[in-house]
């Protein structure tokens, strides 16, 4: 059982913890060259500057790499009307609407503030999903705006990357010093650099796991909010299945900003590939094709795999089957009359 307060506390705790871990790394590195007090001060300034820089330039990078085009008023009247209707119901500012020419079915929100948020949809989403399913996706994305998820993800995503860059740089510096230094102090310096690199790698792994846990949690909250906002959890279930299957067929490398998407393309490929390897097992009507319902049932069966449970630690999103199961529980509450605004997040 969860509430919105739990999400806010988890966000705050994760940000503080990731910042503190990264600050410790910068302090260790700085103290290697400077005195401890100066190293701590340098670490504080460095960590703050990196997070601020990511906050300022992150939305610009997302917009450019996604090749977005902002929609003119009236260009897509249905989409504009539906987003406006749901945003008003959610009591949040109407986000700007943008379109990506990407043929895969996906959507995401980004920005620095709720008032300055952009809701972007892929061309493939509008082509492959019906209007009710698209409404479920819109509700999910507006849930991210309501919870300010995209702001947190934008800032926190920089820390693991910087830790990784530091680890690689220091490690190669240590190796180079070891090869060229001979003996004595140079060898000691090389050894210390390698130790620092190992610590940086540990920080990279730990901060990555913390950030991924937060992104998975926010997806579940957004799913639950969509169910409340649209009152149609079944449509989001269907949309998630279509999106996962559509993404699994997409060629090319996954987008670098996939943590923002409603579905992670790389994760969708893995989920569906594992199911397709056992196609005969899940093709219940023996027609040679997995229908959406058969795919949902297969995803539910795959949830019992211990390997998949362990692999979840490194996922940006909860497995599609877990999201579908949660939405079904919410649907049961709705049908029984127990689903109200006060318990929107009880199934997260």
What residue spans of the chain are helical by DSSP H?
4-33, 36-65, 77-90, 123-128, 131-147, 149-156, 158-181, 185-230, 233-248, 265-276, 279-282, 292-302, 306-311, 320-336
* Length of the chain, in residues: 348
Residue 1: predicted pLDDT: 44
H or E stretch covering 70: strand 69-70
Contact 42, 94 (CB under 8 A): no
Residue 127: predicted pLDDT: 92
Is 141 tagged catalytic? yes
Residue 147: predicted pLDDT: 92
Residue 299: predicted pLDDT: 66
Q: Is 95 helix (H, G, I), strand (E, B) or coil?
A: coil
User: What residues contact residue 255 under an 8 Å CB cut-off, 6+ apart?
Assistant: 65, 66, 261, 265
Residue appearing with tokens 């929100």: 109
Does the reported pTM lie above 0.85? no
Q: What tokens does 9 get?
A: 């506390």
Residue 306: predicted pLDDT: 61
Q: What tokens does 65 get?
A: 């790499």
Question: Is the torsion defined by CA of 97, 102, 107, 110 positive or negative?
Answer: negative
Residue 158: predicted pLDDT: 78
In angstroms, rounded to a whole number, what is the distance separating the alpha carbons of residues 73 and 96? 10
Q: Among 141, 219, 235, 294, which one carries the catalytic annotation?
A: 141
In angstroms, rounded to a whole number, what is the distance separating the alpha carbons of residues 70 and 92? 20
Residue 98: predicted pLDDT: 96
Q: What is the pLDDT along the chain (348 residues), one digit of tens a residue?
A: 457 777 778 888 888 888 888 888 877 777 776 666 666 677 677 777 877 887 888 888 888 888 899 999 999 999 999 999 999 999 999 999 999 998 989 999 999 889 999 999 999 999 999 999 999 999 999 999 999 988 888 778 778 888 888 888 777 765 555 555 555 555 566 677 777 888 888 999 999 999 899 999 999 999 999 999 999 999 999 999 888 877 776 665 555 566 778 887 777 777 666 666 666 677 777 766 666 667 667 766 666 666 666 677 788 888 888 888 899 899 988 888 777 777 888 888
User: What residues contact residue 147 under an 8 Å CB cut-off, 6+ apart?
Assistant: 4, 7, 218, 221, 222, 225
Residue appearing with tokens 């966000």: 11
Instruction: Classify residue 181 as exposed, middle or buried by CB count within 10 Å of its CB (0-12, 13-18, 19+).
Output: middle
In angstroms, rounded to a whole number, what is the distance separating the alpha carbons of residues 345 and 220? 9
Contact 158, 53 (CB under 8 A): yes
């Amino acid at each position: 059982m969860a509430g919105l307060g739990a999400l806010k506390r988890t966000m705050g705790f994760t940000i503080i913890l990731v910042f503190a871990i990264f600050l410790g790394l910068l302090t260790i590195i700085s103290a290697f060259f400077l005195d401890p007090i100066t190293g701590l001060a340098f670490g504080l300034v460095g960590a703050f500057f990196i997070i601020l820089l990511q906050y300022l330039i992150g939305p610009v990078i997302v917009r450019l790499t996604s090749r977005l085009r902002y929609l003119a008023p009236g260009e897509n009247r249905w989409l504009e009307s539906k987003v406006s209707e749901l945003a008003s119901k959610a009591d949040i500012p109407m986000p700007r609407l943008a379109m990506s020419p990407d043929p895969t079915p996906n959507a995401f929100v980004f920005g620095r503030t709720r008032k300055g948020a952009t809701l972007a949809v892929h061309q493939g989403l509008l082509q492959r999903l019906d209007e009710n399913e698209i409404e479920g996706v819109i509700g999910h994305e507006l849930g991210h705006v309501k919870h300010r998820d995209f702001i947190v993800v934008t800032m926190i995503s920089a820390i693991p990357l910087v830790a990784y860059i530091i680890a690689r740089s220091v490690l190669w510096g240590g190796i180079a010093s070891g090869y060229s230094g001979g003996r004595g102090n140079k060898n000691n310096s090389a050894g210390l650099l390698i130790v620092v690199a190992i610590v940086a790698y540990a920080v990279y792994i730990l901060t990555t796991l913390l950030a991924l846990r937060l992104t998975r949690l926010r997806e579940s909250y957004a799913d639950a909010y969509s169910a409340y906002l649209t009152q149609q959890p079944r449509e989001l279930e269907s949309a998630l299945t279509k999106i996962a299957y559509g993404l699994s067929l997409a060629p090319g490398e996954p987008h670098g900003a996939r943590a923002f998407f409603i579905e992670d393309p790389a994760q969708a490929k893995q989920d569906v590939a594992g199911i397709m390897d056992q196609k005969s097992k899940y093709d219940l009507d023996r027609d040679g094709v997995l229908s959406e319902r058969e795919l949902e049932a297969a995803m539910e069966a795959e949830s019992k795999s211990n390997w998949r449970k362990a692999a979840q630690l490194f996922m940006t999103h909860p497995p599609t089957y877990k999201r579908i199961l949660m939405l079904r529980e919410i649907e049961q509450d709705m049908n029984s009359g127990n689903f109200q605004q006060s318990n929107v997040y009880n199934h997260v």
